[in-house]
């Protein structure tokens, strides 16, 4: 290790003798005041803040891929999850399993609630469609719907009929009361994998791998409207007013005007991989999309701008949003179910009763020391303030003992932020102790200081201070240049950094003059 020979200025001591009775004049040591700078707060629109509050995920492990999720339209908005050969019902308030439907011979591919929340309809890979009691485990109806796997089973708006679609390219309409098929619709040329009822009418919409979405009217023998998505369709939805529909396939969302005869209004592509499911929030003003790229995106349906995004650990197969926007359920591969709930929703007394009481803190632990700090006294309480001495940081302890070099070394050893390092340097400058703190250093203790100056001298918050520190370093160690290659290299970097900053300032001044000239001409 090379020892540099600096020009060292030793501090002088001053002794003052007072006549008369000696007096003790001592004040409490004041720690270093860390500089406070204004933060650049990124303005976030209210809609983005609203959806960013869905940030408390609870993950469940299911028995198979989570192919479908559905929230009950009525309170308390329980969640139905189709995973493997069962449907699990979760309580929305506690995220606990309420009951499980297990009387299936094959995997469940679709689950949906009726609008009153009392019945569930499911579709399975063996082509069956079944009707279940949402409050219990009983199966009320079974339909041998399709010769191949069925992936669509939804209630119509009249709540007395169910339509289904499957890999046999057929769409069927069932009467729940008489347990018979009312109509069979032919037109799709490939697997039917998506469907939804259109509000305010008897029509319903289905999507297929033949790139077509078709609008069916039970009063007609053929489809009422056809939409060409341009790729296999994975999901469809209709807006509550019944005038618009959305199809999802490949990495695109397409918006269609049902009133104008199926004219495409918008095409949105914000996913990197196939979109697997879409849904609307409770108000119908925001649309959610999920895909195999492990992303969930939130759109404003007025301009289809992305408001927020959520990233997950696995490819996403299904999603749904609670009608009150309090929960977001996402089903993934590997049997993972993630449920986010809104952090700002205040829990009621029933929620507090379900909480497990925490044990009393043990003496000497952190919980024991901070107990009661969050308590807010009432008007009748008597507050006794304790004399708690603040714990000093390492550099404050060194400054208290006038060990200036050790104080400066401690901020670099602990890897503090640049603001704290600059605050310590400012404190040393105010004490006229920069020469004492920076002098008498070898290569290993000088390099961190030079590195800090090179990295932050162009930061407007620290420029004035670090210019002064750099001048002191040059005064102390300029005679020793050439003794250490590493120290010489950092001095050269410091010179280049200052030269580049000066050149930039000259260019900015020239630009400012040009702008002032243009503004002056425009005002005339």
Does residue 449 lie in a domain region? yes
Tell me the per-residue pLDDT of 319-330, one tens digit each, with 9 for 90 and over.
999 998 889 999
Same domain, 129 and 258: yes
pLDDT band at 356 (very low <50, low <70, confident <90, very high): low
Q: Which pLDDT tens digit goes with each residue over 240-280?
A: 888 899 999 999 999 999 888 888 999 999 999 999 999 99
pLDDT tens readout for residues 385-428: 766 667 888 889 999 999 999 999 999 998 888 999 999 999 99
- Looking at the structure, do residues 268 and 406 belong to the same domain, yes or no? no
How far, in Å, CA of 117 to CA of 134, rounded?
A: 7
Nearby residues of 341 by Cβ (< 8 Å), 6 or more positions away: 54, 56, 58, 95, 326, 327, 328
Last residue of a domain, one of 301, 318, 341: 341
Helix (H, G, I), strand (E, B) or coil at 32: coil
256 CB neighbour count, 10 Å cutoff: 24
pLDDT tens per residue, range 188-229: 999 999 999 998 778 899 999 999 999 988 887 778 899 999
Q: What is the structure's pLDDT at 344? A: 52
pLDDT at 143: 87
Tokens for 80? 């139905």
Residue 13 within any structural domain of the chain = no
Q: Is 208 found in the same domain as 64? A: yes
* 281 and 408 part of one domain: no
Any domain includes 496? yes
Q: How many domains does the chain have?
A: 2
CA atoms of 98 and 133, how far apart (whole Å) = 13
Same domain, 404 and 331: no
Strand 305-311 to 295-300 pairing = antiparallel
331 lies in the same domain as 430:
no
Query: What's the CA dihedral at 44, 45, 51, 57 to 10 degrees?
Result: 10
Give burial (CB, 10 Å; 0-12/13-18/19+) of 144. Answer: exposed
Asked whether residue 325 falls in the same domain as residue 407, the answer is no
Same domain, residue pair 423 and 331: no
pLDDT value at residue 22: 43
Provide the residue range defining the domain that includes 493.
Answer: 394-513
Q: How many CA atoms lie within 13 A of 98 on its CB side?
A: 18
Dihedral angle computed from the Cα positions of residues 411, 413, 416 and 421, in that order, rounded to the nearest 10 degrees: 30
Count how many Cα atoms sit within 13 Å of the Cα of residue 227 in the half-sphere of its side chain: 32
Which residues are CB-neighbours of 82 under 8 A, at least 6 positions away? 66, 67, 68, 69, 108, 109, 110, 111, 122, 318
The SS3 assignment for 273 reads coil
**Alpha carbons 332 and 301: distance in angstroms, whole number:** 25
Whole-angstrom Cα distance, residue 151 to residue 447?
Answer: 67
252/171 same-domain check: yes
pTM: 0.62
Show which of 310, 341, 372 is a domain's final residue.
341
Interval 136-143 mean pLDDT: 86
Same domain, 204 and 91: yes
Q: What are phi and psi of 117, to 5 degrees?
A: 75, 10
């Amino acid at each position: 290790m090379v020892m540099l020979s600096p020009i060292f200025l030793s501090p002088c001591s001053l002794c003052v003798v007072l006549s008369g009775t000696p007096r003790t004049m001592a004040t409490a040591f004041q720690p270093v005041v860390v500089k406070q700078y204004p933060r650049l707060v990124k303005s976030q629109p209210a809609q983005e803040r609203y959806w960013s509050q869905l940030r408390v995920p609870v993950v469940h492990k299911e028995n198979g891929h989570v192919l479908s999720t559905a929230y009950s339209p009525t309170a308390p908005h329980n969640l139905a999850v189709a995973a493997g050969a069962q449907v699990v019902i979760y309580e929305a308030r506690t995220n606990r399993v309420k009951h499980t439907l297990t009387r299936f011979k094959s995997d469940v591919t679709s689950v949906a609630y009726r609008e009153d929340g009392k019945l569930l309809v499911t579709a399975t890979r063996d082509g069956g469609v079944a009707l279940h009691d949402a409050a219990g485990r009983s199966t009320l109806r079974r339909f041998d719907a399709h010769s191949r796997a069925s992936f669509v089973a939804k209630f119509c708006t009249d709540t007395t009929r169910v339509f289904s679609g499957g890999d046999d390219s057929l769409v069927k309409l069932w009467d729940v009361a008489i347990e018979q098929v009312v109509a069979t619709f032919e037109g799709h040329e490939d697997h039917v994998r998506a469907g939804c009822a259109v509000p305010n009418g008897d029509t319903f919409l289905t999507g297929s791998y033949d790139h077509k979405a078709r609008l069916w009217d039970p009063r007609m023998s053929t489809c009422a409207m056809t939409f060409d998505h341009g790729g296999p369709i994975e999901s469809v939805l209709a807006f509550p007013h019944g005038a618009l529909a959305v199809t999802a396939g490949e990495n695109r969302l397409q918006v269609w005007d049902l009133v104008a005869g199926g004219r495409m209004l918008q095409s949105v592509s914000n996913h990197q991989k196939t979109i697997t499911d879409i849904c609307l929030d409770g108000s119908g003003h925001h649309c959610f999309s999920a895909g195999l790229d492990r992303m969930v995106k939130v759109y404003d349906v007025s301009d289809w701008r992305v408001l927020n995004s959520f990233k997950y650990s696995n490819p996403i197969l299904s999603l749904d949003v609670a009608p009150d926007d309090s929960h977001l359920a996402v089903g993934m591969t590997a049997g993972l179910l993630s449920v986010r709930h809104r952090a700002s929703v205040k829990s009621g007394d029933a929620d507090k009763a379900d909480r497990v009481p925490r044990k009393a803190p043990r003496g000497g632990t952190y919980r024991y020391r901070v107990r009661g700090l969050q308590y807010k006294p009432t008007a009748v309480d008597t507050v006794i303030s304790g004399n708690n001495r603040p714990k000093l940081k390492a550099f404050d302890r060194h400054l208290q003992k006038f060990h200036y070099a050790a104080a400066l070394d401690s901020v670099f050893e602990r890897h503090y932020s640049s603001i704290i390092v600059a605050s310590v340097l400012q404190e040393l400058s105010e004490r006229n102790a920069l020469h004492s703190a920076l002098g008498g250093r070898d290569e290993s203790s000088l390099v961190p200081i030079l590195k800090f100056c090179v990295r932050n001298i162009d930061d407007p918050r620290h420029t004035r201070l670090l210019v002064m520190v750099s001048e002191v370093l040059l005064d102390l160690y300029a005679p020793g240049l050439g003794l250490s290659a590493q120290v010489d290299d950092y001095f050269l970097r410091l010179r280049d950094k200052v030269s580049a900053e000066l050149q930039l300032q000259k260019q900015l001044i020239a630009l400012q003059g040009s702008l002032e000239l243009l503004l002056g001409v425009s005002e005339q």
